[in-house]
Amino acid sequence: MSFSTLYRVLFKRNSVFVGTVLASAFVFQASFDSAVTKWYETHNKGKLWKDVKLQLQEGGDDEDEDEDDE
């Protein structure tokens, strides 16, 4: 797409310009949030509740029994 069509389609009318900016802000919010959450969860893998819960379900009962024996 050449710059003149880009200019004509998106920037020429202020209403279209503002509308595009706000619509992409809406998409940006969601995707930015998803991206940050994804990064956070990979960075803290193994420490999050969903990972800890799986560990507890696998070996949680044994640990409790060990503690009772002592």
Partner 1 sequence: MLSLRSSLRTSLKSLAPSTRMLSGSAVAAKSTYRTPNFGDSIKENNDPDRSRSYAYFMVGSLGLLSSAGAKSTVDSFISSMSASADVLAMAKVEVSLAAIPEGKNVVVKWQGKPVFIRHRTSAEVQEANEVQMAALKDPQTDADRTKDPQWLIMLGICTHLGCVPIGESGDFGGWFCPCHGSHYDISGRIRKGPAPLNLEIPAYEFEEDGQKVIVG
Partner 2 sequence: MVSYVSRLAGKTAPHFGRITPYNLLTYAPNLMLWGGAWWAGVFVFTEAWPKFQETFYQKIPLFGGHWINEIPPEDKIN
Contacting residues toward partner 2, per CB under 8 A: 13, 15-16, 18-19, 22-23, 25-27, 29-31, 33-34, 49, 53
- Number of residues counted as binding partner 1 (CB under 8 A): 17
Which of left, alpha, beta for 46 (phi over 0: left; psi -120 to 50: alpha)? left
Contact 48, 41 (CB under 8 A): yes
Q: Give the nearest distance from C-beta 50 to partner 2 in angstroms.
A: 9
Q: How far is the CB of 59 from partner 2 (least distance, A)?
A: 18
- Report the chain's terminal Cα–Cα distance, integer Å: 74
